[in-house]
Amino acid sequence: MLPRSMYSVLGLLGMLIAAQATASISLSATRVVFDGAHKEANVTVRNGNQEVLVQSWVDSGESELAQVPFAITPPLARVLPKQEQLLRILYEGQGLPTDRESVVWLNVQEIPQASGQANTLQLAVRQRIKIFFRPANLPGNALLAPEQLVWQITPNGDKAQLTVKNPSLYHVSMADIEVKSGKKILFSADSTMIAPGVQKTFTSALTPAQTTMTLTFKNINDYGAQHKYSVQLNTTQPANAKPAETTIAF
C-alpha cells in the first residue's frame, strides 16, 4: 500500500495535468474537404486566453503513401490571446490518385508558453482532423455515397458475419452502427470509415437463425452533420440503406 504522502503527491500531479492539458486553441472545422480543382484549402485556428505557439503538419495516417504531397503555411506560428491564425493547406499537384478520394491527416499542436510557476507540468495538446482530397471532376456525389454502401449478413459456420462494401469513389464515415431484432441489439459499433472500393467485415455474434434484422447507422457528412440511415437485412440478399433522419452537429 502506498504511504499517505504519496497519495497526496499523485493527487497534486493529477490536478496539474488536468489544468495544463486543456486545449487553448480550437479549429474552425472538424474535417477539411480539399477540392482538387483548387490549389489550396484553409483552416482557421482560434486561440483562447493565453499566448501559444501553434505547430501544424500533415501525415498519411494508415495509408501507404511514401510521402505526403501537402505543405502547411505557416508551419509554426505564435497566436496571441483571443486571436486567430489562418492555416493554408497546399497540394503539390501530384502524388494522390485522380480516380477516387484520398484521406490524409492534419495535425495542429498547441505549445504553451513556459510557466513562471515552480513545479508546473505543461503538455503540448495536439488536435488531429481528416483532410479528404477530392480530385477535380470526380464522378458521383459524396452525399449519396452512404446509400451506395452494400450491406449483407452471410453465414460463417454456426455464426453469421456482417459485411459492408463501398463501391463509390468517396469515403463514408459512420457512427453508431447497430443491428437489431425488434428492440434487441444484436450488434453495435461506435465508428468506422470505409474507403472507396473497400469491403469491411465486422466480428459479431449474429446467427443465421436471425433471418430478418434492422441495421441503422449515422453518416457524418462534409459539414459534420449526422444523417441516420436504415435498412432491413436477411441472410440471403445484399441491401442498401436509405435516409431515416438527420441530426445536426454543433
> Is the pTM for the entire model greater than 0.75?
yes
At 116 the pLDDT is 62
How many domains are there within the chain?
A: 2
In this structure, are 14 and 127 located in the same domain? yes
Q: Which three cell numbers stand for residue 52?
A: 501559444
In this structure, are 36 and 103 located in the same domain? yes
At 211 the pLDDT is 64
In this structure, are 192 and 153 located in the same domain? yes
In this structure, are 9 and 116 located in the same domain? yes
In this structure, are 126 and 155 located in the same domain? no
> The domain that contains 221 carries what CATH number?
2.60.40.10
CA distance 245 to 250: 16
In this structure, are 210 and 113 located in the same domain? no
In this structure, are 118 and 32 located in the same domain? yes
- Final residue in a domain of this structure, among 73, 105, 134: 134
In this structure, are 228 and 149 located in the same domain? yes
- Final residue in a domain of this structure, among 89, 114, 134: 134
In this structure, are 162 and 217 located in the same domain? yes
Cβ distance 179 to 204 under 8 Å? Answer: yes
In this structure, are 129 and 164 located in the same domain? no
User: Consecutive 10-residue runs of the chain (250 residues): their mean pLDDT?
Assistant: 49 46 83 96 94 95 84 96 97 94 96 70 84 96 97 82 95 95 88 96 73 90 94 88 69
**What is the domain extent for residue 195?**
142-247
Residue recorded with cell 472500393: 197
In this structure, are 41 and 126 located in the same domain? yes
- Quickly list DSSP for the chain: ---HHHHHHHHHHHHHHHHHSS---EES-SEEEEETTSSEEEEEEE--SS-EEEEEEEE-TTS--SS--EEEESSEEEE-TT-EEEEEEEE-S-SS-SSS-EEEEEEEEEEEPPPSSTT-----EEEEEEEEEE-TT-SS-GGGHHHH-EEEEEEETTEEEEEEE--SSS-EEEEEEEEEETTEEEEEEEEEEE-TT-EEEE-----TT---EEEEEEEE-TTS-EEEEEEEE-SS--B--EEEEEE---
- Final residue in a domain of this structure, among 108, 134, 160: 134
CA distance 77 to 64: 30
In this structure, are 221 and 168 located in the same domain? yes
